[in-house]
């Protein structure tokens, strides 16, 4: 018999069906047993009249909740039943996999254990519908990104994650034994994205893993995350990069709203607002003035960077002034940017770069890149880098590389802001941090 999904039971009234799922609750009464079964599409009540089959009744009595079951039975209309006004009268049951008693924790209890404990038992935590929705939305997000990119002639690449030299500085770098030498895990696809520009690919995108040996324990950092990257050629400035990113995000939000808006509202309590184009843009210099005006002083040790408190404050300003959830902070000082960001022609202390802040959280860094090898080498030296390890990268710009720029975004950070979650550990399938390598 073919499997019927719970959401389709209404059209199967009076028929015998087979459903597959997890035992969410069991109510064992004197004569009757009620099993609430869950599949990815919903919940249904299954009833068993004990005198019909005492042996089966006994088997059911011993079942642990969250056991994986296949059930056959007749669908009957019953307006009294809260779950969809129908129930299934049990005919046979196959226990595919019992859940041991007790569960490490009940994912459907009113109060849940602390996050760290839930991460130890992540597969149980992921059984909660809110988590199932999260990853269905993430799938839609990635599909919508790829749809935007393919409609706009981007080529998707998969750059290597094992590298022979650090892509930026030696900081935040994982190294590993590689036969009789050392290899590093890629901290970003930066150099390889740019190599694609030297290869004449003109527009590329990549969704792939990024590794950072960052020992911090914040609610927005992981040691391994999924990066969303794009790079485009023949640009005039970072403005072209921002335009490409905001158009992509606009499409992503629109698709998510159409497909999951109602579910997101009911499970996350978050309204998906499709951001209007263009997103507001504020140069960093002005941001500092605005923050000052609002009584917020940036910490001096940030070298011209914004701290998380500043990100939230500028987002609050943008919300009040433009009623927008996104803001591009542009034209960052050289001190806060890597050597490969192009500097402004009219102010060499500033770079042609931006960060995108969404609902008060940085989700993207982007820039026009310096594609003139002599200037690039000079900027690298100024930042204290040695040229020899990055010579292969500098070579990309020796034989006809067009002006270009791009951006890098954290997928889980986007999911956090989109769904209104406040900890990245909950927004990612499996969290990796300085003290978490398992499961």
Q: Cβ 27 to ligand ATP, closest distance in Å?
A: 43
CA R_g for the chain? 27
Give me the DSSP letters along 52-72: G-HHHHHHHHTPPTT-EEEEE
Q: Cβ 309 to ligand ATP, closest distance in Å?
A: 13
CB neighbourhood size of 9 (10 A) = 21
Q: Cβ 69 to ligand ATP, closest distance in Å?
A: 38
Alpha helix positions (H), 152-200? 190-198
Nearer to ligand ATP among residue 226 and residue 233 (C-beta): 226
The site for ligand ATP, by CB under 6 A, has a size of 14
Burial of 153 (0-12, 13-18, 19+ CB in 10 A): exposed
Check whether the bond before 102 is cis (ω within 30° of 0). Answer: yes
- Segment 214 to 243, residues that bind ligand ATP, using CB under 6 A: 214, 221-222, 225, 227
Strands 155-156 and 203-211: parallel
Q: Cβ 102 to ligand ATP, closest distance in Å?
A: 35
CB neighbourhood size of 321 (10 A) = 12
Four-point Cα dihedral 233, 238, 240, 245, nearest 10: 100
Q: Cβ 364 to ligand ATP, closest distance in Å?
A: 5
- Burial letters for 397-430: b for 16+ Cβ neighbours within 10 Å, e otherwise? beeebebbbbbbbbbbbbbbbbbebeebbbbbee
Nearer to ligand ATP among residue 104 and residue 308 (C-beta): 308
Q: Cβ 437 to ligand ATP, closest distance in Å?
A: 15
Q: Residue for token digits 């391994």?
A: 224
Q: Cβ 192 to ligand ATP, closest distance in Å?
A: 15
DSSP state for residue 275 in the 8-state scheme: P
**Cβ(251)–Cβ(148) under 8 Å?**
yes
**Cβ(203)–Cβ(230) under 8 Å?**
yes
Nearer to ligand ATP among residue 21 and residue 227 (C-beta): 227
Q: Which helix (H) or strand (E) holds 123?
A: helix 122-125
DSSP state for residue 156 in the 8-state scheme: E
Four-point Cα dihedral 67, 72, 77, 78, nearest 10: -40
Cβ neighbours of residue 249 closer than 8 Å, sequence gap 6 or more: 275, 326
Nearer to ligand ATP among residue 295 and residue 384 (C-beta): 384
Q: Cβ 168 to ligand ATP, closest distance in Å?
A: 8
**Cβ(175)–Cβ(207) under 8 Å?**
no
Q: Cβ 123 to ligand ATP, closest distance in Å?
A: 22
**Cβ(238)–Cβ(352) under 8 Å?**
yes
- Segment 298 to 317, residues that bind ligand ATP, using CB under 6 A: none
Nearer to ligand ATP among residue 22 and residue 393 (C-beta): 393
Q: Cβ 230 to ligand ATP, closest distance in Å?
A: 12
- Segment 356 to 415, residues that bind ligand ATP, using CB under 6 A: 362-365, 408-410, 413
Using CB positions, name the residue nearest to ligand ATP. Answer: 410
Nearer to ligand ATP among residue 209 and residue 389 (C-beta): 209
**Cβ(228)–Cβ(414) under 8 Å?**
yes
**Cβ(169)–Cβ(212) under 8 Å?**
no
- Segment 199 to 218, residues that bind ligand ATP, using CB under 6 A: 212, 214
Q: Cβ 208 to ligand ATP, closest distance in Å?
A: 12
Binding mask 261-300 for ligand ATP (x = CB under 6 A): ----------------------------------------
User: Can you tell me the distance from the alpha carbon of 308 to that of 290, in angstroms, rounded to the nearest whole number?
Assistant: 15
What residues make contact with ligand ATP under the rule CB under 6 A?
212, 214, 221-222, 225, 227, 362-365, 408-410, 413
């Amino acid at each position: 018999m073919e499997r019927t999904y719970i959401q389709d039971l209404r059209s199967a009234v009076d028929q015998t069906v087979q459903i597959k799922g997890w035992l969410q609750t069991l109510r064992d009464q004197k004569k009757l047993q009620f099993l609430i079964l869950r599949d990815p599409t919903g919940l249904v009540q299954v009833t068993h009249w004990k005198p019909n089959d005492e042996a089966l009744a006994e088997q059911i009595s011993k079942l642990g909740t969250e056991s994986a079951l296949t059930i056959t039975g007749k669908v009957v209309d019953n307006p009294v039943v809260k779950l969809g006004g129908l129930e299934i009268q049990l005919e046979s049951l196959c226990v595919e996999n019992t859940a041991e008693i007790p569960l490490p924790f009940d994912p459907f209890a009113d109060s849940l254990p602390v996050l760290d404990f839930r991460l130890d038992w992540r597969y149980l935590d992921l059984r909660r519908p809110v988590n199932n929705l999260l990853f269905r939305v993430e799938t839609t997000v990635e599909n919508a990104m790829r749809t935007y990119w393919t409609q706009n002639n981007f080529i998707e690449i998969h750059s290597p994650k094992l590298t022979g030299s650090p892509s930026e500085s030696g900081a935040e770098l994982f190294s590993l034994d590689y036969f009789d030498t050392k290899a590093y895990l890629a901290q970003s696809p930066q150099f390889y994205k740019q190599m694609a520009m030297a290869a004449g690919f003109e527009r590329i995108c990549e969704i792939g893993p990024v590794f950072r040996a960052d020992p911090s324990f914040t609610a927005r950092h992981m040691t391994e995350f999924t990066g969303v990257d794009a790079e485009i050629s023949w640009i005039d400035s970072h403005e072209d990069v921002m335009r490409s990113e905001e158009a992509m995000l606009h499409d992503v939000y629109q698709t998510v709203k159409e497909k999951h808006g109602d579910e997101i509202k009911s499970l996350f309590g978050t309204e998906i607002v499709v951001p209007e184009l263009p997103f507001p843009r504020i140069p960093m210099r002005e941001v500092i003035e605005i923050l000052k005006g609002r009584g917020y002083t940036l910490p001096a040790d940030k070298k011209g960077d914004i701290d998380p408190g500043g990100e939230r404050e500028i987002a609050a300003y943008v919300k009040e002034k433009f009623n927008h959830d996104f803001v591009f902070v542009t034209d960052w000082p050289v001190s806060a940017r890597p050597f490969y960001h192009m500097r402004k022609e009219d102010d060499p202390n500033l770079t042609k770069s931006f960060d995108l802040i969404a609902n008060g959280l940085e989700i993207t860094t982007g820039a026009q890149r310096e594609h003139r090898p002599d200037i690039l080498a000079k900027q690298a030296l100024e930042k204290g880098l040695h040229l020899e390890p990055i010579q292969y990268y500098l070579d990309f710009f020796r034989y006809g590389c067009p002006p270009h720029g791009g951006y890098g975004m954290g997928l889980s950070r986007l999911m956090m802001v989109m769904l209104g979650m406040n900890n990245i550990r909950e927004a990612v399938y499996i969290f990796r941090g300085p003290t978490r390598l398992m499961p």
